[in-house]
Amino acid sequence: MSVRAFSLFFALLTVGADVFVLVALVLAATSRFSEGSASALRWIRDMVGGSSLVLAWIVAAVATLGSLYYSEVAHFLPCKLCWYQRIAMYPLAVVLGIAALRSDHGFRRYVLPVVAIGAGISAYHYQLERFPAQASLACSVDVPCTTVWVWQFHYISIPFMALSAFALIATLLLLGPLPEQDLIEAEPEHTEKEVSR
Amino acid sequence: MTRRKVTRARPGAGERKSDRRGRGRSRAGPVLFGLVGALVVAAIIAIVAAGGDDGRESSAPARVTVTGQSLPALPESSDPAVGLPAPTLEGRDFEARPVRIEDDGRPKAIIFLAHWCPHCQREVPLVQDWLDQEGMPAGVDVYSVTTAIDPAQPNYPPDEWLRREGWTPPVLVDDEKGSAANAYGLTGFPFFVFIDAEGNVASRFAGELTIEALQAYLASIEAGAT
């Protein structure tokens, strides 16, 4: 496969991730008002819930392999912001795998802050690519963060792929079963697992 | 104070698999199957739609000859190269026609461009629009040098990019070592060097220039010539 084919492949995955995240967000936002949205969200949770850690691990692993493909095979030089995103993404490909093996859904409280930081850096990097003049009016001789290596479907660059991967990992983790003292509001079917004193 | 306690024990020990999943039912099979299917479909679409060719074959390596002393790198302030003789550059353009940038008694501007640099990608149409409207300035020659050429980087090859932009100034293609860029002490892209009629450096600038600023630089070297 050529670099162009790989970029198209990753861009298609990005579109899929974006659609999934957007649908989940819309359903979550409207589930309080619409029974249809609430039942659709429940259906997605039923489908994804138990496998959420495995799915999130697959997303992190594909993102990590994609990043390594771009730097080691396609020889795209990672800039400083790329490295910060790598620092957030690469460990996820390991720790989410361990969490999935142990079905440790509570582990997401450690992972979600890292995912949020990574997504924040990706979002900043993406807008810097879109508006390069804010960084400086010159490209440095080494690797400027404003260089757009990949541009697919009029909106997808490499930082946007990373942003989509972080967003999908966060969505999958939040769709997972509720562990103790969880981050999101408990649903009725989980309340029997909780006792108050 | 409310404390949540979860009855879900560690996986194993008499616990049903469905309980371990926490959602009552395990749907891992269809979901994972769907994900793998999506990956395969995306890969097939990508291979079919993109084809096998990257269009990245590089042509014969460019050669640049530098005559004269190289200029120091452009510092943040007070350029030490001002007043120094500009080195002569000899090379070829994309059609392998010889290009020579030398002291020919005319003031000149040299614009160093990198095809992958978004600032160069913004500057080129700006300058070309101005040249299209005003024509090449009568008393000043404008040259360009494409440097930092890298097939692995975006917007390659530079000849296609400049042809797409309708770029009219002569183009000298720098070699792999960046001999032309190094000779002029390049520190960033785009990089402008303004040379007076005596062949000495009048000023250098790294970064995007507005047309007004470019005109002012050109006017200053043109005025010095008269």
The shortest C-alpha distance from B151 to chain A (Å) reads 10
The reply to whether A12 touches chain B by the CB within 8 Å rule is yes
The shortest C-alpha distance from B21 to chain A (Å) reads 5
Distance of alpha carbon B153 from alpha carbon B56, whole angstroms: 10
b vs e for B151-183, b when ≥16 Cβ sit within 10 Å of the residue's Cβ? eebbbbbbbebbeeeebebbbbbbbeebbbbbb
Return the amino acid letter for A22.
L
pLDDT at site A191: 43
Handedness of CA B41, B42, B45, B48 (dihedral sign): negative
The shortest C-alpha distance from B55 to chain A (Å) reads 10
The shortest C-alpha distance from B194 to chain A (Å) reads 17
Greater model confidence, A91 or B73: A91
Distance of alpha carbon A5 from alpha carbon A152, whole angstroms: 11
pLDDT for A121-151, tens place per residue? 999 999 999 988 787 788 888 778 888 888 8
pLDDT at site B80: 92
Q: Would you call A82 exposed, middle or buried from its count of C-beta atoms within 10 A (0-12, 13-18, 19+)?
A: buried
Distance of alpha carbon B164 from alpha carbon B162, whole angstroms: 5
Question: Searching chain B, which residue's CA lies closest to the CA of residue A101?
Answer: B11
- On chain A, the residues whose CB falls within 8 A of the CB of B53 are 2
pLDDT at site B39: 87
The shortest C-alpha distance from B140 to chain A (Å) reads 24
- Cross-strand bridge partners of residue B98: B92
**Does the beta-carbon distance from B22 to A140 stay under 8 Å?**
no
The reply to whether A125 touches chain B by the CB within 8 Å rule is no
Question: Searching chain A, which residue's CA lies closest to the CA of residue B181?
Answer: A141
- On chain B, the residues whose CB falls within 8 A of the CB of A146 are 117-119
Are B66 and B89 in contact by the 8 Å Cβ rule? The answer is yes
**Does the beta-carbon distance from B43 to A179 stay under 8 Å?**
no
Q: In terms of pTM, does the model score above 0.80?
A: no
Distance of alpha carbon B223 from alpha carbon A171, whole angstroms: 64
Question: Searching chain B, which residue's CA lies closest to the CA of residue A140?
Answer: B188
The residue among A172, A191, A187 whose CA lies nearest residue A39 is: A187
Could you count the other beta carbons within 10 Å of the beta carbon of residue B83?
Answer: 11
**Does the beta-carbon distance from B186 to A141 stay under 8 Å?**
yes
The reply to whether A120 touches chain B by the CB within 8 Å rule is no
- On chain B, the residues whose CB falls within 8 A of the CB of A144 are 117-118
Of B24, B31, B122, the CB nearest to A51: B31
pLDDT at site B23: 43
The reply to whether A6 touches chain B by the CB within 8 Å rule is yes
The shortest C-alpha distance from B116 to chain A (Å) reads 7
CATH number of the structural domain A3-177:
1.20.1550
CA B188 distance to own-chain centroid: 10
Distance of alpha carbon B222 from alpha carbon B213, whole angstroms: 14
The residue among A141, A143, A138 whose CA lies nearest residue B182 is: A141
Greater model confidence, A197 or B225: B225
**Does the beta-carbon distance from B21 to A177 stay under 8 Å?**
yes
Q: What is the C-alpha end-to-end distance of chain A, expressed in Å?
A: 60
Segment A158-171 mean pLDDT: 97
Of B2, B38, B114, the CB nearest to A16: B38
**Does the beta-carbon distance from A178 to B22 stay under 8 Å?**
yes
pLDDT at site A1: 72
Instruction: Give start and end residues of each alpha helix (H) in B103-164.
Output: 118-134, 158-164
Q: Would you call B60 exposed, middle or buried from its count of C-beta atoms within 10 A (0-12, 13-18, 19+)?
A: exposed
**Does the beta-carbon distance from B189 to A138 stay under 8 Å?**
yes
**Does the beta-carbon distance from B52 to A140 stay under 8 Å?**
no
Instruction: Give start and end residues of each alpha helix (H) in A49-107.
Output: 52-68, 80-101
pLDDT at site B54: 55
Q: What is the mean pLDDT of each run of 10 residues along chain B (226 residues)?
A: 44 42 53 83 85 55 85 85 95 94 95 94 96 90 94 89 96 93 93 95 94 93 74
All structural domains of chain B, each given as residue ranges with its CATH number in brackets, are 84-96+104-225 (3.40.30.10)
Question: Searching chain A, which residue's CA lies closest to the CA of residue B192?
Answer: A138
Distance of alpha carbon A11 from alpha carbon A17, whole angstroms: 10
How big is the A-B interface in CB pairs under 8 Å? Answer: 158
Could you count the other beta carbons within 10 Å of the beta carbon of residue A150?
Answer: 21
The reply to whether A44 touches chain B by the CB within 8 Å rule is no
pLDDT for A14-72, tens place per residue? 999 999 999 999 999 999 899 999 999 999 998 888 899 999 999 999 999 999 999 99
